[in-house]
Amino acid sequence: MTMTPRQHDILSAVREAGRVTVDGLAERFGVTVQTIRRDLGALCDAGVLDRTHGGAMLPSGVTNIGYEARRQVAAEAKEAIGRAAAALVPPGASLFLNIGTTTEAVARALMGTPNLMVVTNNMNVAQILAAHPSAEIIVTGGRLRRSDGGLVGDMAVQTIRQFKVDIAIVGGSALDADGDLLDFDADEVRVARAILDQARSAMLVADATKLTRSAPVRIAGLADLDRWITDQAPGAGLERLAAEAGTQITIAG
């Protein structure tokens, strides 16, 4: 799905309250309950929210939504974020790109940047960049996660530890109000932490829907990231935390 401005606002409302009702949202936005039901239905079908009696709530934070569904959530925002991230990568740079639909958007946007070296545990990123005319692509070993083309486990970590790159471009499943980047798979998180350890600078690519979600495993905090590229201003709380951490926020598009 491509979210409308009202659906973005509904997600923000759910994040603030944890749970919302159809009647309350209809009154808040000045639209009919049928319109709100359609909005909530679309958000729930995409796995961004969970249905409740008469409304919706944030997902449980225990399991992730399907990869194809994730590709459809905020698809236009991810492409804009990908272009903004690629614009900050100079020719001749070395990069890590981890698992995620937003890092795939970055890979697509990097096709015009010459002479790159990209190390990735994302088979989809490797396939995208295979068509790059001057990029060297290095794929880590590891256990293949068929659901999303990710490579995880000790072999992936060991491969990453052999490199020291200019920029790590990473995504995650959620970013909470404390500024913690979160994910669902502990094995994937170990790889993401190794990526951050082995990079001279770190860039997070995460759209506003990640602020409405939760996940159980911590990857890093804002202080571990030099820049966060997103599609909407994240709100005063996270802006303050980013400023304290020295993390630059870039709004794509």
- Listed by start position, the domains of the chain span 5-58, 75-251
In the prediction, which pLDDT does 62 show?
Answer: 44
Classify 55 as helix, strand or coil: strand
The answer as to CATH 3.40.50.1360 being correct for domain 75-251 is: yes
DSSP 79: H
Q: Going residue by residue through the chain (253 aa), what tens digit of pLDDT does each one get?
A: 577 889 988 987 887 677 899 999 999 999 999 999 999 999 888 777 888 889 998 776 544 555 555 556 678 889 999 999 999 999 999 999 999 999 999 999 999 999 999 999 999 999 999 999 999 999 999 999 888 889 999 999 999 999 999 999 999 999 999 999 999 889 999 999 999 999 999 999 999 888 877 888 999 999 999 999 999 999 899 999 999 999 999 999 7
Nearest to 228 by CA among 214, 242, 209: 242
d(CA 192, CA 35): 40
CATH number among 1.10.10.10, 3.10.20.30, 2.40.10.480, 2.60.40.10, domain 5-58:
1.10.10.10
Residue 226, by phi and psi: left (phi above 0), alpha (psi -120 to 50) or beta? alpha
DSSP reduced 3-state for 27 = helix
In this structure, what are the phi and psi dihedrals at residue 202, rounded to the nearest 5 degrees? -130, 135
pTM reported for the whole predicted model: 0.77
